[in-house]
Amino acid sequence: MNQSENLKRELKDRHIQLIAIGGAIGVGLFLGSAKAIQAAGPALMLSYLIAGIIVFFMMRALGEMILYKPVSGSFSAYAQEFIGPWAGFFTGWNYWFMWIVTGMAEITAVGKYMTFWFPNLPQWIPALIALIFVYLINLVAVKLFGEFEFWFALIKVVTIIALLVIGTLIITTGFGYKGHPIGISNLWKHGGFFPNGIIGMLLTLQMVVFAFQGIELVGVTAGEAQNPDKTIPSAINKIIWRILIFYVGALFVIMAIYPWNQLDGKTSPFVLTFENIGIPAAAAVINFVVMTAALSSCNSGVFSTGRMLLTLSRNNHAPKAFSKLNDRQIPSFALTASSIVLLIGVVLNYLVPEKAFEYVTSIATIGTIWTWGMIVISHMQYHKMVKEKKLPESSYKMPGAPFTNWLVLIFLAIVVVMIGLDKDARIALYVAPFWFAILIIGYLYVRKNNHTEEKVG
């Protein structure tokens, strides 16, 4: 059965393009960059550049397979086909879990951001409203999901472009100068380009990978894109330029305006830049942007978890009910099930201290590493079958394969090592074995059931 059977292809080119941008720009840039700058200094730009190149190769591998077979829940289906049923099971459920964990953190983040304007409002109320809001968006139509994701991403893009324009004005004219040195020399004057050494830069890779988490969502949209042969390659090819402009460009401007060691690691550099030219509402503007970024992540999370449950169900790796579509061709039961699990995030607002949400982001990063790893390993098998003439050759090839596949895998292994060296992120390596043990038990149970059904049949 075609995985995308009966799903409406309502995502237009502009939806796919902005979903790709939105996946590449997250809360990690607007808020997380402050902490990352403290860890790596100006070398953080190099972290984003290296990770950006790796992400580009990973996405090219995914893009080549998408053109071979554009299906919903793509990388789970490719892992199933090219590696084996266990890989499809692990990848699908792992991606579902990754977005559930991320979604819990993001709806709580929405609650925290709302307290900026309503300090006496209990956090769980806006968190619950946010979850209901994105659930209803996804339940109505895939086109509505695409529209909201389009506007959420556009808000982020406009904010970064404003930063680049205003920042360039400050650097070149001294406009808004407040007594500290401004200029490109800030990138090497205060302890050098690598003030905390190469290790300082490498330790930020975990944060950088988390910032890029969700970029692979383009693959999940493949089954509902109007013209995947055109829109998917177009979106993927522009990823590296978007990373250069939106991440490296924004950090270049910020650290040329402010010596990196004068940033406190807590206040968003975006807030400081806008305040520097006398915008008193800078904090409120960035708070709004970060809140829409969190809503965007929730929106993507509900969409992707629903589609992944659909794919798992059609591969006999999840209950059959998850493969049912409503009269608008939406996997409503799968969406509802995922949203109910996400309600745990609302409950966690009562039970879990703030630090715990830093922990779940590192756990989500492990999920991202597995997903990206499975994409490039699946592509290696696909590439081998193409060379053996078992599959048709694609016009949209991953550059440098299979060498670049190994490059991506080595990078991901380095990130795992760096997670182990970070005391806050290290908890992910303790949680991961328990989660994969659950997956092993789940897979053995599903395989046994499927064999029993085949014998009865």
Cα–Cα dist 116/35, whole Å: 20
User: Which band of pLDDT confidence, cut at 50, 70 and 90, is reported for residue 2?
Assistant: very low
Residue 4 has pLDDT above 50, yes or no: no
The token pair at 407 is 């490059």
Cα–Cα dist 96/103, whole Å: 10
Q: How many CB atoms lie within 10 A of CB 306?
A: 29
E strand or H helix at 284: helix 282-314
Residue 5 has pLDDT above 70, yes or no: no
Q: By mean pLDDT, which of 6-10, 91-95, 162-166, 316-320 is the weakest?
A: 6-10
Q: Give me the pLDDT at residue 233, please.
A: 86
Q: By mean pLDDT, which of 68-82, 255-269, 297-311 is the weakest?
A: 255-269
Q: By mean pLDDT, which of 84-93, 176-185, 376-385 is the weakest?
A: 176-185
Cα–Cα dist 137/91, whole Å: 26
Q: By mean pLDDT, which of 138-152, 171-185, 186-200 is the weakest?
A: 171-185
Residue 157 has pLDDT above 90, yes or no: no
Q: By mean pLDDT, which of 46-55, 118-127, 226-235 is the weakest?
A: 226-235
Q: Give me the pLDDT at residue 9, please.
A: 65
Work out the angle between the directed axes of helices 13-24 and 282-314 (0-180°, nearest 10).
110
Q: What percent of the chain has pLDDT over 90?
A: 27
pTM across the whole model:
0.86
All domains in the chain, ordered by first residue: 14-96+142-287+350-449 (1.20.1740.10)
Q: Give me the pLDDT at residue 357, please.
A: 59
Classified as helix, coil or strand, 254 is helix
Judge residue 352's burial from the number of C-beta atoms within 10 Å of its C-beta, 0-12 exposed, 13-18 middle, 19 or more buried. Answer: middle
Mean pLDDT score, 369-379? 95
Cα–Cα dist 20/217, whole Å: 7
Q: Give me the pLDDT at residue 172, please.
A: 84
Mean of per-residue pLDDT scores for the chain: 83
CB of 139 within 8 A of CB of 330? yes
Q: Give me the pLDDT at residue 406, please.
A: 98
User: Which band of pLDDT confidence, cut at 50, 70 and 90, is reported for residue 91?
Assistant: very high
Residue with tokens 């201290």: 353
Q: How far is CA 285 from the centre of its chain?
A: 23
Mean pLDDT score, 309-331? 86
Q: What is the pLDDT of residues 413-454, one digit of tens each?
A: 999 999 888 877 787 888 888 889 999 999 999 988 876 655
Cα–Cα dist 108/221, whole Å: 26
Cα–Cα dist 374/138, whole Å: 27
User: Which band of pLDDT confidence, cut at 50, 70 and 90, is reported for residue 214?
Assistant: confident
Q: Give me the pLDDT at residue 41, please.
A: 92
Top-confidence residue, 426 or 90: 90
Q: What is the pLDDT of residues 336-370, one digit of tens each?
A: 999 998 888 777 666 654 655 566 666 777 888 99
Q: Give me the pLDDT at residue 453, please.
A: 58
Judge residue 180's burial from the number of C-beta atoms within 10 Å of its C-beta, 0-12 exposed, 13-18 middle, 19 or more buried. Answer: exposed
Q: Give me the pLDDT at residue 355, please.
A: 57
Residue 138 has pLDDT above 80, yes or no: yes
Residue 387 has pLDDT above 80, yes or no: yes
Cα–Cα dist 359/362, whole Å: 5
The token pair at 367 is 């999920």
Amino acid letter at 116? Answer: F
Mean pLDDT score, 254-269? 80
Cα–Cα dist 432/359, whole Å: 12
Work out the angle between the directed axes of helices 124-140 and 85-114 (0-180°, nearest 10).
130
Mean pLDDT score, 121-150? 85
Residue 223 has pLDDT above 50, yes or no: yes
Q: What is the CA angle 154-30-17, rounded to 5?
A: 30
Q: Give me the pLDDT at residue 284, please.
A: 85
Closest CA to 55 of 200, 197, 199, 244: 244
Residue 1 has pLDDT above 50, yes or no: no
The single-letter DSSP state of residue 401 is: T
Residue with tokens 């400081």: 272
Residue 45 has pLDDT above 80, yes or no: yes
Residue 217 has pLDDT above 70, yes or no: yes
Q: Which residues pair with 11 in a beta bridge?
A: 225
Q: Give me the pLDDT at residue 353, please.
A: 46
**Which of 99-103, 206-210, 227-231, 439-443 has maximum average pLDDT?**
439-443
Q: How many CB atoms lie within 10 A of CB 452?
A: 10
User: Which band of pLDDT confidence, cut at 50, 70 and 90, is reported for residue 71?
Assistant: confident
Q: Give me the pLDDT at residue 3, please.
A: 42
Q: What percent of the chain has pLDDT over 70?
A: 84
